[in-house]
């Protein structure tokens, strides 16, 4: 999608962090925006700031884990803008802990927001894109953890890691499914970024149990050393304009990718030996 001027983008988690960074870069291209967040007032304030640049921008609240809420949000988008060209599934939460340190409700919270939320939004918007029959672009928020594990200094984050691996598989399958229908899918894979994702406990809803007070502020160190979300936004939009599937923001991730596939490729030597021995 080379020309973004006049297009309409829906960005979940668009009122802060990477989502807002992407919104700013899309606004600079002349793209109109619907910013979606759990905090409607915050989304509307962010939208008002972007509207001051000359585009149309609105903010709305939505719990992306709930199908009826996503349907209502999509209805609002089409009523307000007439169409939608771009869906950015950026909403997500971070959560640390080893498998024996996290509870079932912790696991469900991470999976529901990071994976089910993307599924819900795609399940609602893709049929609308198909009905319209014109070019559309879906952008999903992955992570360096699509390819491997983060630096040990950040500790274990098994639920988050699992959710991002799931999004790699989901996005890969989605692009195969929708490419013949004229849709583009991109997967953003950033390293540490200066956002509040690792402090997402502050916005955890009651259905997922009590907040973990130990987790409050746990992401401050990551935020302090992370990439500027506006830079992530610029890289993302550049990749979108090139119709790239992988949009990777940090150069060291190259080594993570190489290590992952070197290990898997080396395992094939044993496969050859076993097939000769047992086959």
CATH number (domain holding residue 233): 3.40.50.720
For residue 163, tell me if it sits in a domain: yes
For residue 2, tell me if it sits in a domain: no
Quickly count: other Cβ atoms within 10 Å of residue 72's Cβ: 14
At 220 the pLDDT is 60
At 207 the pLDDT is 85
Which residues does the chain have with pLDDT short of 50? 214, 216
| Euclidean distance between CA atoms 226 and 141, whole angstroms | 16
Q: Answer yes or no: are the C-beta atoms of 137 and 242 closer than 8 Å.
A: no
H/E element, 170: helix 158-178
Domain count for the chain, please give it: 1
At 221 the pLDDT is 60
At 214 the pLDDT is 45
Dihedral sign from CA coordinates of 256, 191, 173, 179: negative
At 94 the pLDDT is 86
For residue 3, tell me if it sits in a domain: no
Burial class (CB within 10 angstroms; exposed 0-12, middle 13-18, buried 19+) of 39: middle
| Euclidean distance between CA atoms 200 and 94, whole angstroms | 6
Q: Of 78, 95, 160, 246, which residue is the catalytic one?
A: 160
Give the alpha-carbon dihedral of 265, 268, 270, 274, to 10 degrees: 170
Q: Answer yes or no: are the C-beta atoms of 29 and 5 closer than 8 Å.
A: yes
Q: What are phi and psi for residue 128, nearest 5 degrees? A: -70, -40
For residue 239, tell me if it sits in a domain: yes
For residue 223, tell me if it sits in a domain: yes
Provide the token pair at 159: 């639920």
For residue 1, tell me if it sits in a domain: no
**Interacting residues of 75 by C-beta distance below 8 A, sequence separation 6+:** none
Q: Answer yes or no: are the C-beta atoms of 189 and 143 closer than 8 Å.
A: yes
Q: At what angle do helices 104-111 and 158-178 cross, to 10 degrees?
A: 30
Catalytic residue check, 95: no
pTM of the complete model? 0.94
Name the residue range of residue 258's domain.
8-278
For residue 154, tell me if it sits in a domain: yes
For residue 160, tell me if it sits in a domain: yes
């Amino acid at each position: 999608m080379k020309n973004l001027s006049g297009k309409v983008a829906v960005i979940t988690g668009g009122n802060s962090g990477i989502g807002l960074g992407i919104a700013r870069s899309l606004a600079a291209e002349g793209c109109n925006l619907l910013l979606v967040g759990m905090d409607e007032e915050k989304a509307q304030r962010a939208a008002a700031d972007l509207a001051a640049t000359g585009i149309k921008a609105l903010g709305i609240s939505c719990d992306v884990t709930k199908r009826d809420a996503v349907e209502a949000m999509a209805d609002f988008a089409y009523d307000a803008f007439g169409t939608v060209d771009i869906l950015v599934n950026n909403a997500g939460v971070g959560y640390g802990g080893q498998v024996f340190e996290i509870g079932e409700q912790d696991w469900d919270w991470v999976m529901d927001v990071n994976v089910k939320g993307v599924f819900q939004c795609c399940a609602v918007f893709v049929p609308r894109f198909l009905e319209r029959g014109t070019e559309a672009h879906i952008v999903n928020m992955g992570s360096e953890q699509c390819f491997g594990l983060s630096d040990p200094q950040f500790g274990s984050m098994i639920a988050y890691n699992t959710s991002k691996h799931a999004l790699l598989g989901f996005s890969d399958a989605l692009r195969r499914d929708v490419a013949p229908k004229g849709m583009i899918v991109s997967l953003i894979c950033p390293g540490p970024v200066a956002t509040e994702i690792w402090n997402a406990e502050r916005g955890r809803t009651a259905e997922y149990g009590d907040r973990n007070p130990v987790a409050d502020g746990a992401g401050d160190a990551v935020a302090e050393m992370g990439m500027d979300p506006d830079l992530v936004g610029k890289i993302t939009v550049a990749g979108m304009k090139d119709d790239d599937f992988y949009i990777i923001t940090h150069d060291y991730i190259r080594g993570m990718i190489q290590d992952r596939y070197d290990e898997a490729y080396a395992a094939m030597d044993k496969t050859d030996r076993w097939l000769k021995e047992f086959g």
